[in-house]
Structure 1
Amino acid sequence: MDTEPAVPAGAPAPVARQRLPEPLGADFLARPAETLAGIRETCPVARVRTPAGRPAWLVTRAEDVRAGFLDPRLSLSGGRVPDPTVRRRALEVSLVNYDAPEHTRIRRLATPALTPARMAAHRERIERAAAELLDAADAARGAGPVELMDAFARPFAFRSLCEVFDVPEGERAALYEPVACLADKTGRTAADIEGSVDRIDAFVRDTMARRAAVPGDDVVSRVLVAWQEQGGATEDEVASLLAMLLLAGFDSTVQAIGMSVVALLGHRDVQNTLREEPARIPRAVDELLRWDTPGPFSTKRVALEDVRFGDTVIPAGSGVLLSVAAANHDPRCHADPGTLDPDRSTASRHLTFGLGPHYCPGSALARLELTVALTGVLVRWHRLEPAVPLDELTWTGGYLHRRLAALPVRPCGPA
């Protein structure tokens, strides 16, 4: 297995290490598509060194990335199976630690709870949340700009999750703190993180106990019903599944909202078209998900045996990064990928939610949230402009999950 330790900052690197390119640093966060396009068109399966100092293989062409998602030889667990008899808190082991068949037996408990029809049942409450938050943002800004991430994207994504999990109003403020901490650990101490895991674990188990006694029409209740009917999982595994759905559905959606608005700020014609014809927004959401994504790569995989992509063989034991962002801009899959086209016929073939067994279980909720958020923003304000140049926005996070630190916008409206 690829167990090379991280290289300490400032430490001299051995000559062999200096031969690998390191394309995934700070500049990559702001312009991943540019970096990945060069790799995709010149060396589509490339060995690089990550910012942590570890070697990894980048797979960048859409056909290869799709094949990689479906190849069981590319393992998330590295061939290890978590011991179900070991007591674990929620989030200590999640779906990204499992391969089939273990992954399948746990994931299937969530599938009935997260269908598009189930999520659509929550639409009215999610729309109400968007309207209330935009009202508050308008009232607070006066004639000034709105910082869209803090004023809208974060509270909207969290309230949407609270609606589908049926979190009581009185418990939401206390839940937000640990969710926000685990979504972005920047500046957090080890004690902060451990305490947040404890609080999420306690929240999930308490909610499971309450829903078992009095079921509702929420995600937790439906997962518990599936567990009762199908079995095949421990209580710890169910708790971790629910905690993962809660946490994974937060920051990725926050960032997708921000990145979608950035795309529309940079394409005034598309922004105006969608404002004038909001019925086109649901279809445009897939194009915006193709255009930019918080996760340029899927979760790192390990090759359990030699795997060939084209003329390149990735040796067994190697770390592999399937480049979602590169595939989403591959001209072999999407004609003229550098054009933001809300009517693109191939947009739904984007890989932002993955593919195959590990396809994002919360994709229907994410699409609903993006549709509601963008509709609310565009209908509320008849013009939306960046309050700072788009090339001066600050990007944080890392190459596996980019974050837009802030998005100040200057709205004019209402429409």
Structure 2
Amino acid sequence: MTAWAAVDHSAARDVFRRHEDLTKDPRHWPAFADGSIPPTWPLLPVVVGGGFLHEDGAAHRRHRGLVGTAFQRVSVAGLRPAIERIADELLNRLDADRPTDVDLREAFAAPLPIRVICTVLGVPADIMTGLRSAFEQLVTPPEHPDDIPAAKAEIDRVLARLITDKRARPGADLTTRLIEARDEEGRLTEQELIETLFLIMIAGHETTINVLASAIRRLAEHPAVLDAVRAGTLGWDAVVEETLRLDPSVRYALMRYATRRLDIGGVTIKKGDPVIVATLAAGRDPGQHERPEEFDPSRSTVTTHVAFGHGVHHCLGSALARQEAAIALERLFTRFDVSLAARPECIASIPIHGPQVLLSRLKAREPAPTAAQPA
């Protein structure tokens, strides 16, 4: 399939904010409406599924508002102790096992956000762990086209069972609040409830995994930056923002469709044409950033990126993702020196960006001197 791509910062923001001219509703895409897109098209689940992610107008406001209200009750600052505890448990395990080489993506960057989003949702972590391969089949090229609908069907089946269990045993969590909105207020259909949980789950762990893994990689490759952070010259938040700029978890934001003929960046887009945002390219726009390919958390434009989108579809979980990454990086690099055992290869994916494997060597750091222990 052919689509226009916004590849610089200005065009990316323009596409994100023109939600009336560029709808997320695939019914405005002629190739989808006339059946040209087969049900086995590999990108179909990330173009169609995900509830309000692919809605606009009143429907989007209704569903996003509902989730946003429920999400706001989850105190991001209040989750700090849980995130710190999870990070320390994972690092304790690495310290006890003392592997020669360890894949920090799978041993640390992945389990941390999975366990955090399960805490927010109030679901057992083994449910998310069991669905990992199904989620990953939706964002990476499958071996067989039939794997895509099969993976989505498995996710829907597990989520339907989860909703049944939660109805029987509600709790003070986001899943229970969404079920109450469905059962008591009638603000969601059963399928919308499943799609909303699907969206929160996949967005709540897949993107954070990759930004955390990318940040670990960049700090391992740039010891001077890490020294500056440890000395207090730079903050962990700045490291996270620079990683989001240089290595956003979303390589391409899919898809939007022109509801009328319009001009963007001097290009004429016809009605019905699909448009995507090249988030990775936009973060490396030389018109926006000096030395855009360099990892430099001290740059003045460190927060000038569209890694979490822009406008009405801006990521609801951005504050949580930022906090998770900053805490995880601080805990890891306070406890260990990290060196890369192999050059990381990027994930083979259109929508997702990050290292496929992060093979690393860990060396325990000496405890910082206290007042009773002169440096």
With normalisation by structure 1, the TM-score equals 0.74
What's the CA shift for 1:145? 2.0
- 1:340 is paired with a residue of what secondary structure? coil
Deviations 1:334-359 (A, max 9, x none): 34433433244432331001011111
For 1:74, the aligned partner's letter is: L
Partner of 2:201: 246
Alpha carbons of structure 1 residues 114 and 337: separation in structure 2 relative to 1, 3 Å: farther
Alpha carbons of structure 1 residues 327 and 116: separation in structure 2 relative to 1, 3 Å: farther
The answer to whether structure 1 residue 78 and structure 2 residue 20 are counterparts is no
- 1:316 is paired with a residue of what secondary structure? coil
The answer to whether structure 1 residue 233 and structure 2 residue 188 are counterparts is yes
CA contact (8 A) 2:137 2:151 kept: no
| Matching residue within 205, 217, 220 for 1:265 | 220
Number of residue pairs the alignment of both structures matches: 347
- When structure 1 is superposed on structure 2, of 304-313 and 340-349 the one drifting more is 340-349
The answer to whether structure 1 residue 180 and structure 2 residue 133 are counterparts is yes
| Matching residue within 82, 107, 114 for 1:151 | 107
Instruction: Report the Cα distance in structure 1 between the residues aligned to 2:153 and 2:358, rounded to whole angstroms.
Output: 32
- When structure 1 is superposed on structure 2, of 305-314 and 61-70 the one drifting more is 305-314
Partner of 1:113: 70
Instruction: Report the Cα distance in structure 2 between the residues aligned to 1:357 and 1:205, rounded to whole angstroms.
Output: 28
| Matching residue within 357, 365, 385 for 2:339 | 385
Alpha carbons of structure 1 residues 70 and 225: separation in structure 2 relative to 1, 3 Å: same
Partner of 1:361: 316
What's the CA shift for 1:308? 0.6
The answer to whether structure 1 residue 222 and structure 2 residue 169 are counterparts is no
Instruction: Report the Cα distance in structure 2 between the residues aligned to 1:354 and 1:211, rounded to whole angstroms.
Output: 32
Instruction: Report the Cα distance in structure 1 between the residues aligned to 2:180 and 2:334, rounded to whole angstroms.
Output: 39
CA contact (8 A) 1:294 1:403 kept: yes
For 1:341, the aligned partner's letter is: D
Alpha carbons of structure 1 residues 93 and 326: separation in structure 2 relative to 1, 3 Å: closer
CA contact (8 A) 1:76 1:98 kept: yes
- 1:261 is paired with a residue of what secondary structure? helix
The answer to whether structure 1 residue 133 and structure 2 residue 90 are counterparts is yes
What's the CA shift for 1:319? 2.0
Partner of 2:12: 65
What's the CA shift for 1:111? 0.7
Alpha carbons of structure 1 residues 346 and 394: separation in structure 2 relative to 1, 3 Å: closer
Deviations 1:44-72 (A, max 9, x none): xxxxxxxxxx3222222212211111112
What's the CA shift for 1:246? 0.8
| Matching residue within 352, 356, 359 for 2:307 | 352
How do residues 6-405 of structure 1 correspond to structure 2 at under 5 angstroms? 54-71=1-18, 72-80=20-28, 92=49, 94-115=51-72, 118-142=75-99, 144-168=100-124, 172-184=125-137, 196-212=151-167, 215-225=170-180, 231-277=186-232, 280-381=235-336, 383-388=337-342, 390=343, 393-405=344-356
- 1:354 is paired with a residue of what secondary structure? coil
Deviations 1:127-168 (A, max 9, x none): 1111111111222234x1221112111222211122111224
What's the CA shift for 1:275? 3.0
CA contact (8 A) 1:119 1:164 kept: no
- 1:121 is paired with a residue of what secondary structure? helix
What's the CA shift for 1:305? 1.8
Instruction: Report the Cα distance in structure 1 between the residues aligned to 2:233 and 2:130, rounded to whole angstroms.
Output: 34
Cα RMSD, aligned residues only: 3.0
Instruction: Report the Cα distance in structure 2 between the residues aligned to 1:58 and 1:317, rounded to whole angstroms.
Output: 14
Give the share of equivalent positions with the same residue, in percent: 28
Instruction: Report the Cα distance in structure 2 between the residues aligned to 1:217 and 1:121, rounded to whole angstroms.
Output: 14
Alpha carbons of structure 1 residues 330 and 80: separation in structure 2 relative to 1, 3 Å: closer
Structure 1 runs not aligned, ≥5 long: 1-53, 83-88
CA contact (8 A) 1:56 1:319 kept: yes
For 1:132, the aligned partner's letter is: E
With normalisation by structure 2, the TM-score equals 0.82
CA contact (8 A) 1:384 1:411 kept: yes
Structure 2 runs not aligned, ≥5 long: 33-44, 367-375
CA contact (8 A) 1:397 1:403 kept: no
- 2:260 is paired with a residue of what secondary structure? coil
- 1:299 is paired with a residue of what secondary structure? strand
CA contact (8 A) 2:238 2:298 kept: yes
Instruction: Report the Cα distance in structure 2 between the residues aligned to 1:198 and 1:59, rounded to whole angstroms.
Output: 32
For 1:73, the aligned partner's letter is: D
- 2:238 is paired with a residue of what secondary structure? helix
Deviations 1:105-134 (A, max 9, x none): 111111123349622222212211111111
For 1:166, the aligned partner's letter is: G
Instruction: Report the Cα distance in structure 1 between the residues aligned to 2:290 and 2:90, rounded to whole angstroms.
Output: 37
- 1:401 is paired with a residue of what secondary structure? coil
- 1:58 is paired with a residue of what secondary structure? strand
CA contact (8 A) 1:183 1:250 kept: no
- 1:397 is paired with a residue of what secondary structure? coil
Instruction: Report the Cα distance in structure 1 between the residues aligned to 2:10 and 2:239, rounded to whole angstroms.
Output: 23
Instruction: Report the Cα distance in structure 1 between the residues aligned to 2:78 and 2:210, rounded to whole angstroms.
Output: 24
Instruction: Report the Cα distance in structure 1 between the residues aligned to 2:13 and 2:158, rounded to whole angstroms.
Output: 37
Alpha carbons of structure 1 residues 162 and 102: separation in structure 2 relative to 1, 3 Å: same
